[in-house]
Amino acid sequence: MAVHAHPDDESSKGAATMARYVADGVEVMVVTCTGGERGDILNPAMDRPEVKADIGKVREAEMARAREILGVQQRWLGFVDSGFPEGDPLPPLPEGCFALEPLETAAEPLVRAVREFRPHVMLTYDERGGYPHPDHVKCHEVSVEAFDAAGDPERYPDAGEPWTPLKLYYHMTFTKERVVTLHEAMLRAGLESPYHDWLKRFEEDTEPARWAVTTKVPCADHFETRDRALLAHATQIDPNGFWFVVPMDVQREAWPTEDYHLARSLVDTELPEDDLFAGIREKVSLQCYH
């Protein structure tokens, strides 16, 4: 189960991993916390009045196409996008938005989803949200709450029969190591790198990385599926934009994995891992044997 803040997040973070596991016969569910109603239109070709007038419905339709491409199940939690506050000072968040919901109110439908779908593995963002969007931070909070609470019959007693997930991971999508490696690969290929500004930000950021990559999932064979799912989110993804600058062969050669930090585990596993189900396959097989 991959828990995301907005439609399109599932395609920009961990999509090739999900496609790989779907191909392996694993049941995969994307949980989308909000409808993305306050997201900007980032593709100039979609910046039209009729799209803006019904952006929630448009993004819902985009999500339907993306989930079909990825082969995943998908569930909306039904909360309202908080938008990304900008300015100095930052404006207050809009009343009734996801980020302002009390934790238990926001987590209850996710606990219910966990208990119904019964995942062994959950994916979410770290406590900074991957980037400081208030909905991403809230997504982290409700995911951790649901991971901890879903197996406890005394918590959220009206949200279904308890179920305990076994592992919780954080997405580690744009690590310094990955960005530097792709940057250098582009230069070796004689191509213009899109990462110059990223490298400057890394130089200016003296704070050490908070989470180490513990798990690298090989999924290069599914990068094209990931890109098709991204393109399904046409209001958010410019086909001529950043996501598609690095040629596929360069990506596959330089960085053929999607990467994660193992934040919680209730099974024994050895780090580093190359499988989100490391330790789980053995546990489930042993239980079936007995």
Binding site, annotated residues for Zn(2+): 6, 9, 136
**pLDDT category, 281, cuts 50, 70, 90?**
confident
Domains and CATH numbers, the chain: 2-173+257-289 (3.40.50.10320)
Q: How many CB atoms lie within 10 A of CB 286?
A: 9
Among all chains, which residue has been given the structure tokens 């396959």?
281
What is the spatial distance between Cα 290 and Cα 283, in angstroms, rounded to a whole number? 11
**For residue 285, pLDDT beyond 60:** no
pLDDT digits (tens, 9 = 90+) for 252-263: 999 999 999 999
Write the pLDDT tens digit of every residue in 148-202. 999 999 999 999 999 999 999 999 999 999 999 999 999 999 999 999 999 998 8
C-beta separation of 4 from 31 below 8 A: yes
pLDDT in tens, 201-210: 888 877 777 8
Q: Sort strands 73-79 and 121-124 into parallel, antiparallel or unpaired.
A: unpaired
Average confidence (pLDDT) over 266-281:
96
What is the pTM assigned to this prediction?
0.95
Q: What backbone torsions phi and psi does residue 140 show, to the nearest 5 degrees?
A: -60, -45
pLDDT digits (tens, 9 = 90+) for 211-237: 999 999 999 999 999 999 999 999 999
Mean pLDDT of the chain: 94
pLDDT score at 289: 41
Say if residue 290's pLDDT is above 50: no
Q: Residues at the annotated binding site?
A: 6, 9, 136
Residue 131 pLDDT: 81
Once rounded to an integer, what is the mean pLDDT over residues 24-47?
A: 95
Side by side, the strands of the sheet bearing 257-265 are 73-79, 29-34, 2-4, 121-124, 167-171, 257-265, 215-218
What number of H helices and E strands is found in the chain? 11, 7
